[in-house]
Amino acid sequence: MLIYLRVLQESFFFALNALRTNILRTFLSLLGVSIGIFAIIGVLAAIDSLESEIKDGLSSLDISTIYVLRFSFGPTDLEPYQYENFPNVSYDEFEMLQRSMPEMGAITYTVFSGAENIKYDNKTATGVNIVPATETMYELDGLKIEEGRFYNESEANSGTPVVVIGSEVANSLFGDSYPIGRKVRLYGNKFTVIGVLKKEGQGTLGPSKDGSAYIPVNFVRKIYGDNNRSRVSALIMKPREGADQDEFIASMEQKLRNYRGLKNDEISTFFVNPLKGFTDFLDQVTSTLTLIGAVIASFSMLVGGFGIANIMFVSVKERTNLIGIQKSLGAKNRFILSQFLFEAIILALFGGLFGLLFVWLGTIVASGLTEDFEFVLSTQNIIYGATFSASVGLIAGLIPAIVASRLDPVEAIRTGM
């Protein structure tokens, strides 16, 4: 054990000596490893950060939530011509499912209305995300009220012009003034502010609630009707606690098919999008991105590996005389082999550590440039980068080390002279 520790110590000093003696050559050789590690770990760090941000955004959502509408959240086997004329889900279908499914935990009907401006006196909140929905959206969307209240069932059914606004909207329109009971203008009509939502922060999977406004969906139905193709309506639901989601979806789909009069051999004219399926799809996307990024970045490591192999062959050539002397004094082949392998690994680790340093600096700069997104270099990726660079050094230095260990001592001394 002690002899290997001495070999490691010798190899470390040999590597440092090589760095000092041939700075330019060593720098160019290690640059390939540094760039390779930077590319691979940089890709992994970016994808891990994105995945973490998405999971944080989904953490407040119930993965049992199901979206039913005329579009699919992910890939579909249907051709565009088959689904492009699917009808919107209707308010009548919402009421039918609400009363006919005892296993229903909660359901809401909403219309994706887009952004509008809300005015109060001479102030305007621009680009507000308007969410027309039934009163059950409060539970399904996990809303939290800071001031006032959410609209009730009676107000939702009658389409009363009331509005619940996000914190950013409230601040833009009222500043420090009390907003409840104030009249604002939206869709050319006056709405009474009855509630303000708690500040949420940047939304990961869509507009933030801070810049949104919730109104009764029946008010929008009065304006645009139920057959307006420019507006996409959706049913958002979740089964009651303890219910099997697959059975719930099958039952709901069959009731909706029967309501639309679809025959057994006809395709469903709607898409069922479980949130769990969407998160699984995101996991597949991030896994694919990780694989593609790692494969592309691995080509940089090939350059680094060739650089390490080159410097090790040169090192063997320069130290041929020394190798001959060591072997003539009794050094075993495995001693010479270990010496050069350790040196290759140490050189590769230097390159890997520089690459990790560049990634770390990159995460700091990137996090500083993005206000609500944090890039993170995880301990796992640091270990992975160090292990990968050491492995590259081991593989790249193996052949030069074998060549060095098999040198004939007499020929080595003569060649070196």
Q: Who contacts 369 (Cβ-Cβ below 8 Å, separation ≥6)?
A: none
d(CA 170, CA 30): 56
pLDDT at 89: 92
Name the one residue in this structure whose structure tokens are 């679809």.
262
Whether the Cβ atoms of residue 288 and residue 282 lie closer than 8 Å to each other: no
- What 8-state DSSP symbol labels residue 87? P
DSSP class per residue in 369-388: H-SS------HHHHHHHHHH
For residue 215, report the phi and psi dihedrals to the nearest 5 degrees: -135, 160
Whether the Cβ atoms of residue 15 and residue 346 lie closer than 8 Å to each other: yes
- Taking only Cα atoms into account, the Rg of the chain, rounded to an integer number of angstroms, comes to 33
d(CA 35, CA 33): 6
pLDDT at 416: 52
d(CA 1, CA 8): 11
Helix (H) or strand (E) holding 178: none
Report the DSSP pairing between strands 123-133 and 212-216: parallel
Q: Who contacts 195 (Cβ-Cβ below 8 Å, separation ≥6)?
A: 145, 147, 148, 149, 150, 151, 164, 165, 180
pLDDT at 251: 93
pLDDT in tens, the chain (417 residues): 666 677 667 666 765 665 667 677 677 777 777 877 787 777 777 777 777 776 666 655 567 789 999 988 777 888 888 888 898 999 999 999 999 998 998 999 999 887 899 999 889 999 999 999 999 999 888 889 999 999 999 999 999 999 999 999 999 999 888 999 999 999 989 999 999 999 877 655 556 788 999 999 999 988 887 777 778 899 999 998 888 888 999 999 999 999 999 998 889 999 998 877 666 666 777 777 777 767 766 776 677 777 777 777 777 777 777 777 767 767 677 777 777 777 777 778 888 888 888 888 888 887 777 666 667 777 877 887 778 778 877 887 788 878 777 777 766 676 655
Q: Give the E-state strand segments of 70-122 in sequence order.
A: 104-112, 115-120
Whether the Cβ atoms of residue 55 and residue 278 lie closer than 8 Å to each other: no
pLDDT at 141: 82
**Model-wide pTM > 0.85:** no
- Residue 49 token pair: 């950060």
Name the one residue in this structure whose structure tokens are 């969410």.
131
